[in-house]
Every structure is written in structure tokens, then in C-alpha cells.
């Protein structure tokens, strides 16, 4: 879709800037976890997963978002982690 932007006559509208900034700021506002706690949790998650696989620490993302629950009317918080795996380790504890 990038090429469509190229052909459109105008540069980015200020509305798009507002939306991007707003989305970013809301990610932080919405998380009940403090950034410090989230960092600690991230560190622990990395440590555990690293026992089993090499992961791409540069490109991983862990954040808290709100999503609509299907059963309940109250939205729920969800921890969303995107952790690219480079290689699964041959673990000394062989599977099963």
C-alpha cells in the first residue's frame, strides 16, 4: 500500500500524525503495569525463553493492551508478546 501514498498528491495529513501519536500515548496510558514492572517482566521472559531458543532481542515487543472479551462485557487486559525466534536450541533436557 506504500505506493499508493507515493501517488497521492499531498504529504502526510496532520490527522494521521495525530492518530499515530494518540495510539502510542494510549498504549502507555492503558497499561496497568508501570514501565518499570513491564521491563522487569520482559527481562524474566527473555531469560526463560532463552533457555530454549535464541531470540531476536532487538525486534521483540511486549506490551499490554485492552481487548474486548467475547463472553464478558468488561474488556480485559492482555499481554501481547511478539518474540522472533532465530533458532531453537538443542536442549540438554530432550523433549519428553
Choose which of 1, 4, 9, 29 interacts with other proteins (CB under 8 A). 29
Task: Spell out the residues 6+ positions from residue 41 whose beta carbon is closer than 8 angstroms to its own.
Answer: 33, 62
Choose which of 21, 37, 43, 89 interacts with other proteins (CB under 8 A). 21
Minimum CB distance to other proteins smaller for 74 or for 88: 74
Choose which of 10, 36, 87, 92 interacts with other proteins (CB under 8 A). 10
Q: Which DSSP symbol is given to 32?
A: S
Under rule CB under 8 A, residue 1 binds other proteins: no
In degrees rounded to 5, what are phi and psi of residue 59?
-105, 15
Least distance CB 51 / other proteins (angstroms): 36
Beta strands in the chain (DSSP E): 53-55, 61-67, 76-82, 85-88
Query: Which 48-77 positions form the footprint of other proteins (CB under 8 A)?
Result: 66, 68, 73-75
Amino acid at each position: 500500500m506504500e505506493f499508493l501514498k507515493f501517488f497521492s498528491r499531498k504529504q502526510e495529513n496532520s490527522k494521521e500524525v495525530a492518530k499515530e501519536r494518540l495510539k502510542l500515548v494510549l498504549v502507555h496510558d492503558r497499561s496497568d503495569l508501570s514501565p518499570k514492572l513491564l521491563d522487569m517482566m520482559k527481562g524474566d521472559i527473555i531469560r526463560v525463553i532463552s533457555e530454549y531458543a535464541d531470540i531476536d532481542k532487538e525486534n521483540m515487543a511486549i506490551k499490554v493492551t485492552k481487548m474486548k472479551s467475547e463472553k464478558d462485557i468488561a474488556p480485559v487486559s492482555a499481554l501481547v508478546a511478539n518474540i522472533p525466534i532465530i533458532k531453537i536450541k538443542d536442549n540438554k533436557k530432550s523433549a519428553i
